[in-house]
């Protein structure tokens, strides 16, 4: 498998990650980093936006090794395409941890 180009960005105080969420999956997992640099994440949560966002924040905080309070959906709250900010974690570290956890 070739190493695709990743487009994670350093924010003011952390990392910004574009994600595409697939609800009602068999398990919570990072499926892939897509060609546009966004991260495809499968979640067991139903498509209900509040439950889906809460599950996403909880899952990503575990994958990234940060407190859930450091992870926030800042765009796309009512969409399957979302922008996530992770405080106090640089984009390089976020990228490494996500790649290490691809299913």
Architecture of domain 9-100: 2-Layer Sandwich (3.30)
pLDDT surpasses 70 at 10: no
Residue ranges per structural domain of the chain:
9-100
* Confidence tier at 14 by pLDDT (50, 70, 90): confident
What's the pTM value of the predicted model, to 2 decimals? 0.85
**Element (DSSP H or E) covering residue 56:** helix 49-64
Average per-residue pLDDT for the chain: 90
Q: Which helix (H) or strand (E) holds 75?
A: strand 71-75
pLDDT at 17: 95
Angle, helices 49-64 vs 91-100, to 10°: value is: 100
């Amino acid at each position: 498998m070739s190493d695709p180009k990743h487009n994670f960005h350093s924010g003011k105080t952390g990392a910004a990650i574009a994600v595409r969420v697939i609800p009602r999956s068999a398990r919570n997992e990072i499926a892939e980093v897509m060609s546009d640099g966004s991260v495809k994440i499968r979640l067991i949560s139903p498509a209900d936006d509040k439950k889906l966002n809460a599950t996403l924040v909880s899952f990503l905080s575990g994958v990234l090794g940060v407190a859930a309070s450091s992870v926030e959906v800042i765009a796309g709250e009512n969409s399957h395409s979302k922008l996530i900010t992770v405080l106090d974690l640089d984009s390089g570290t976020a990228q490494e941890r996500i790649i290490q956890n691809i299913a």
